[in-house]
Structure 1
Amino acid sequence: MAQLHFVEYGPRTSEQPQDTLVFIGSIGSTLDMWLPQLDALSDVFRVIAVDHRGHGGSPVVEGPASVADLAQDVQETIAQLGVDTYGVVGLSLGGAVAQYLAANDSKVTSAALLCTAPKFGTPESWHERARTVRADSTAALADGVVGRWFSEGWMADNPASTAFYREMIATTPAEGYASCSEALADWDFADELPKISVPVLVLAGADDPSTPPEVLKGIGEAVSGESTYVEIKPGAHVPTIESPQEVTDALRTHFS
């Protein structure tokens, strides 16, 4: 298991923190993808964001991983911070980890599943990605990935931010990206979703090519806990950056 790099903030006001929120991001990202939400929600929440193993400031762990391994990384990291109960917020791969935690960790009190799925693509497509980055580096995928993260209009209006996030992807260690790709190759949680009994926010980007709205609606229908569906427009696969206020507002409403 890996001790993950994390940041922690809040609360900034005199109010008691309502909860601890743990943020888990996409494959190829660092915790910087949550900056707007960490800024806003640290007023009353204790917010903790982590980098997956082999991403950002977290150590590379050689070889394939499973989503259960990634979840254990999160559990061990936040346990050292004295977290007793928490709300989990996950996007894409982080949403898979959040699904696993919501179903299996009794410390989870509520969950927000953003732009994620109980199964992503085909196993072969993820094994191919792993082979590609091990052979050619993660930069070989960066243009394609950033094109799924954001809508064309947003990228045209935000060239500097687009370049920043493309570089985030391109500089992800190849073994970190490959290991997490192999975790997604083996990920199929459809039959486990009814185990999620805590309140769930499912949030979709209206224009997300990777996990379209109908996939998120299906998660909400399959969990046994109360679910709320929110669709963000404009928004592709990473609306935390493209439509940050709308995402933050949905999270605040859910976890309050």
Structure 2
Amino acid sequence: MSFDPIDHDFERGLNNRRAILGDAWVERSLANANSFNADFQNLITRFAWNEIWGRPGLEQKTRRAIVLAITITLGRWEEFELHVRAALLGEAGNRLTPDELKEVLMQSAIYAGVPAANTAFAHAQAILREVGPQIGYALEPAAPAAACHPGAGREGRSAGRPALHYTVREPRSGKAPRHTVVLSHALGCDLTMWDALANTLAADCRVIAYDHRGHGSSEAPEGTYTMAAMADDAAALLRELDTGPVVWIGVSMGGMVGQELALRHPALVRALVLANTTSGYPDAARELWRQRIATVRAQGIEAIADAVMGRYFHDAFRAGHAATVARFRRRVVSTDVQGYIGCCHAVGTVDTTARLGGVAVPVLVIAGELDQGTPPEMARTLADAVPGAQLLVLPEASHLACVEQPQAFEEAVSSFLAGL
């Protein structure tokens, strides 16, 4: 029988303590140990730093956030400062950025109270002023009135007519955007349909989303609309925002606008993602669009809402995601009637097939395997007409593939962007 003189629980805890707090702090702590507190130092090293921090069930960054939130709640400001400094200066794999630290403090305001968060911000800012040069961060003056929710973007309304409601998310990286991406929604929807994808892409891209004329908070001009006019709307918005060439991601009607934009204003388009869309309808389908317009004009959008949901989402999705379907239904029926009718005319008369050979940018066409509104055959026609276009058919996806299969849609877009 052998006896190992090494206390492995203590050694593992000490290693974790060094990784989180840094060698210098741990060495000072050990050097200050004495006959009164040595037992306590041993206890916390074995139990806090081994038994808890040594568990692989959570990432160390997550455990950092938990400690910061708890010390804020309890008002343990000496411990809070210790962990703030360690979080900002920690190893690359577990440190928190100043923006991540800010999010911990913001959430603590809700669950621990505004006074506690106010004190936490004061302590954190003092530390940021101290360590900022080491981590390349500087506190700059900023106006509270100009702050915007990073998950929704800065809102605006274009100066042209019709005035278009839009949002802009700047890259969270703080660096120059890898791309400027524009997200263009489907008929009867609005820019919020893109929130999840927009926030993902805004990690390193500038992301613009907007409401088409007649939708959301944008103006609804009188009369019928054309796809050319809607593309001109988009061009005017992009020029007002001084975007330069953009990667246009459009679903259904948004994809039709993207095609026309690339043809009418090619200098504004860097690449296209055309999802669940078409370059033209056969005569029978055009007649169905005319019938839809007549029904809405006579009875309102409510009369067609259930049929629209049946085309937007396949049976299994409607059964399993009733709340999502209900949300999109509410959005459709609340759309301005004049705007809906005007856009129905633009969609029903779309006709770009013969001109698509003039699109000279990279194009990804995404189709839904179960899409009845713009089936894969229409996507193949579109992809075949655009030189070098890629085609991807998503399984178990209907007309709003980005909603039914968000992960697969995001992966397809991210892969396409990576190749630009």
TM-score (norm 1): 0.95
Counterparts of 2:368 and 2:175 in 1: how far apart (Å)? 32
After TM superposition, give the deviation of residue 124 of structure 1 in Å: 2.6
Match for residue 154 of structure 1? Answer: 317
Residue 120 of structure 1: aligned partner: 281
State the match for 1:134 in structure 2: 297
- Contact between 1:123 and 1:184, CA under 8 Å: does it hold in 2? no
Residue 345 of structure 2: aligned partner? 182
Matched letter for residue 6 of structure 1: Y
- Distance in structure 2 (CA, Å) of the matches to 1:115 and 1:131: 24
Q: Which residue of 2 aligns with 1:109?
A: 270
Q: Report if the CA contact (8 A) 1:3-1:76 is conserved.
A: no
Question: Is the CA contact (8 Å cut-off) linking 1:3 and 1:77 kept in structure 2?
Answer: no
- For the residues of structure 2 that align with 1:147 and 1:58, how far apart are their CA atoms? 26
Q: Secondary structure at the match of 2:403?
A: helix
Aligned to 2:379: 216
Q: How far is 1:55 from its partner?
A: 0.6
1:90 aligns with 2:239: no
Which amino acid is 1:114 matched to? A
Measure the CA separation in 2 of the matches of 1:113 and 1:214. 14
Measured after TM superposition, the shift of residue 14 of structure 1 is 4.1
Specify which of 246, 249, 253 is matched with residue 411 of structure 2. Answer: 249
Greater fraction of residues in helix: 2
Matched, 1:23 2:203: no
Distance in structure 1 (CA, Å) of the matches to 2:221 and 2:417: 33
Corresponding position of 2:80 = none
Q: What does residue 53 of structure 1 align with?
A: 213
Residue of structure 2 equivalent to 1:40: 200
Mapped to 2, the partners of 1:9 and 1:151 lie a distance apart of 31
Task: Tell me the alpha carbon deviations over residues 43-96 of structure 1, each in whole angstroms, 9 at most, x when there is no partner.
Answer: 111111111111111111110110000011111122211111111111111111
- Where does the alignment leave 5 or more consecutive residues of structure 2 unmatched? 1-160
Task: Considering fraction of residues, name the structure with more strand.
Answer: 1
126-135 vs 246-255, which deviates more? 126-135
> Once the 2 structures are TM-superposed, how far is the Cα of residue 127 of structure 1 from its aligned partner?
2.1
TM-score, normalised on structure 2?
0.59
Distance in 1 (alpha carbons) for counterparts of 2:405 and 2:187: 20
Residue 197 of structure 1 corresponds to 360
Residue 119 of structure 1: SS of its match in structure 2? Answer: coil
Distance of 2:401 and 2:365 partners within structure 1 = 13
What's 1:62 paired with? Answer: 222
1:109-158 deviations in Å (ceiling 9; x for gaps): 10000000011353332222122112211121111111111111111111
- The answer as to whether partners of 2:272 and 2:362 remain within 8 angstroms in 1 is yes
Three-state SS of the structure 2 residue aligned to 1:54 is: coil
**Which residues in structure 2 correspond to 1:74-89 (within 5 Å)?**
74-89=234-249
8 A Cα contact 1:123 1:186, kept in partner: yes
Structure 1, residues 216-250: CA drift from partner, whole Å, max 9, x if none?
122111112x2211111221000111111111111
List per-residue Cα deviations over 1:160-202 (Å, max 9, x = no partner): 1111111111111111110011112322111011111100000
Residues matched between the structures, number: 255
Report how far residue 15 of structure 1 moved.
4.4
| Structure with greater contact order relative to length (CA < 8 Å, sep ≥ 6) | 1
Residue 167 of structure 1 corresponds to 330
Q: What amino acid does structure 2 have at the position aligned with 1:107?
A: L
Aligned to 1:143: 306
Partner Cα separation in structure 2 for residue 181 and residue 148 of structure 1: 15
Greater shift in the superposed pair: 118-127 or 133-142: 118-127
**Residue 240 (str. 1) matches residue 402 (str. 2):** yes
Aligned match of 1:231: 393
The separation in 1 between residues aligned to 2:377 and 2:288, in whole angstroms, is: 21
CA contact under 8 A between 1:140 and 1:170: conserved in structure 2?
Answer: no
Alpha-carbon distance, 1:207 to partner: 0.6
- What is the match of residue 12 of structure 1? 172
Measure, in 1, the Cα distance between the counterparts of 2:349 and 2:376. 22
Could you tell me which amino acid in structure 2 is paired with residue 248 of structure 1?
Answer: E
* Identical pairs, percent: 33
> What is the distance in 2 between the residues matched to 1:209 and 1:124?
16
Gap runs ≥5 in structure 1:
none
Q: Check conservation: 2:252, 2:278, Cα contact below 8 A.
A: yes
- How big is the shift at 1:7? 1.2
Q: State the AA in 1 paired with 2:320.
A: D
Aligned to 2:365, what secondary structure does the other structure show?
Answer: strand
Is contact 2:281-2:349 (8 Å) kept?
no
